Amino acid sequence: MAKELVIIGYGAAGFAALIRANELGIKPTLIGYGPLGGTCVNVGCVPSKTVLRIGELYGYAKGFEPSLNWDYMSAFKHELDIVNKLRKLKYEDVLAKYDVELIEGRAYFTSPNSVKVNGRVIEGERFIVATGSSPNIPNIKGLREVGYWTNVEALNPQRRIGSLIVLGGRAQALEFAQMYRMLGVDVAVVQRSQVLIPDWEPEISLGIRQVLEQSGVVVLTGTRVLEVKQGVEGKVVVTDKGELEADEILVAMGRRPNVDLNLNEAGIKLSEKGGILVDDELRTTNPRVYAAGDVLGGPMLEALAGKQGVVAVDNAVLNAHRRIDMLAVPQAIFTKPNLARVGLTVAEAVAMGIDVDYRVVFMDNVAKAHILGDTNGLVKMIIEKGSGRIIGVHAMGENAAEFINEAALAIRLKATINDLIDTIHVFPTMAESLKLAAQAFYRDITKMSCCVD
């Protein structure tokens, strides 16, 4: 007998789909392998942000006592404790509260309406594919022979290192570079593009580069890696600009969707990004099968994956025709200071034919930034000319990952700069920077006292 709903993958998207299915009165079959919770809680968001926080606190302590020294390996022990705690609290304990058939193993499609797992064929009326992603490993001469780290090894190092070369220049690369630098490791970042995080606004890219370099991180952009080889004392990265040597190499060059499921047998096609191709209702080229999360090929965000899991179930089961407003999906990079964005960049808006205007407000105009002791950063607000509708917000600053959510709501509700100005903001907060950015379209905010409306 065919199962009513089969969910493949038990990370953020898969769990969200399971919970929504139960709410609709459906007992799904949940298939997955590896630790419950997928990437984020085990080897992604949770552990990396934990170690970043420890590094930040260590930096504060060093400011008071420069001679302070410690064995940073203890940071990773604490991180693993947090991971185990949250995996149990948010996944293992949660799973026990729902009506679900759990099958541990790898699933492969055998037809448009069946999969095989552990030698067992399971037929289904509807499927949700939420198999996540894995580190993208480039084909660099000598890399596999010499050995390298991915995020997995970097979050559970088996030895203390003194130097690290990070290959990549986007979110994961920046977080790990700063994390290890905060722990006292010598770090170099090698990025092929001419700038860090090239899809972000140039002010943000330049700002975080300056922060990293001021902390002692060597940043090489516009640099191509030619070869990796074993050196006398460490591992050597050969580039078109010279050689670098370090104790370890971290490959942080994005992630690839996990699509090894015999998708051809189910009539499921892939997109140009290598993820599962879906329409705006998350339906694949097989009308029985929907997909959610990293397996789509991006943006690869935990919160988005959870939303997609729910929407996929609603559309698969209820034919609800739900869609996600991708313009209002916020992103954050948890460096210190945070980087955050939502909506369009100026370049993206112009390419779409939108007549735009924008303002940039620096954090040294924000009282709370002074209180927190870090005025590095800015807010860049982009609007549609004429209407004043907010279409993009980009920030670098303390707690930017928190206050970007207000900007996401503003874009979701098609709010204007006047709506933001007319909203009274608590003072002093970092969120005041959003109101100041809106006010900057009308007045010189450097000539304002606190809380001028």
Delimit the domains of the chain by residue range: 3-135+256-324, 143-253, 328-447
3-state SS track over 379-391: EEEEEECCCCEEE
Q: What's 280's DSSP letter?
A: T
CA angle 289, 295, 296 (to 5 degrees): 80
Burial of 353 (0-12, 13-18, 19+ CB in 10 A): exposed
Burial of 174 (0-12, 13-18, 19+ CB in 10 A): buried
Please provide the CATH number assigned to the domain covering 3-135+256-324: 3.50.50.60
Burial of 296 (0-12, 13-18, 19+ CB in 10 A): buried
328-447 falls under which CATH superfamily? FAD/NAD-linked reductase, C-terminal dimerisation domain (3.30.390.30)
CA distances for 124 relative to 5, 8, 202, 227, 296, angstroms: 6, 11, 48, 47, 21
The closest of 79, 77, 80 to 52, measured between CA atoms, is 79
Class of domain 143-253: alpha beta
- Do 143-253 and 328-447 show the same overall fold? no
Distance from C-alpha of 91 to C-alpha of 411, rounded to nearest angstrom = 32
Check whether 268 has a pLDDT greater than 90. Answer: yes
Least trusted range by pLDDT, from 60-64, 78-82, 199-203: 60-64
What band does 61 get if pLDDT is binned at 50, 70 and 90?
confident
The amino acid at 432:
E
What band does 298 get if pLDDT is binned at 50, 70 and 90?
confident
3-class DSSP state of 246: strand
Distance from C-alpha of 24 to C-alpha of 313, rounded to nearest angstrom = 9
Q: What's 253's DSSP letter?
A: S
pTM: 0.95
What local confidence, expressed as pLDDT, does residue 1 receive?
A: 79
Cβ atoms of residues 48 and 152 within 8 Å: no
163-214 pLDDT, tens digit each? 999 999 999 999 999 999 999 999 999 999 999 999 999 999 999 999 999 9
Check whether 448 has a pLDDT greater than 90. Answer: yes
Report the DSSP beta bridge partners of residue 257: 133
Token pair listed for 180: 């290890």
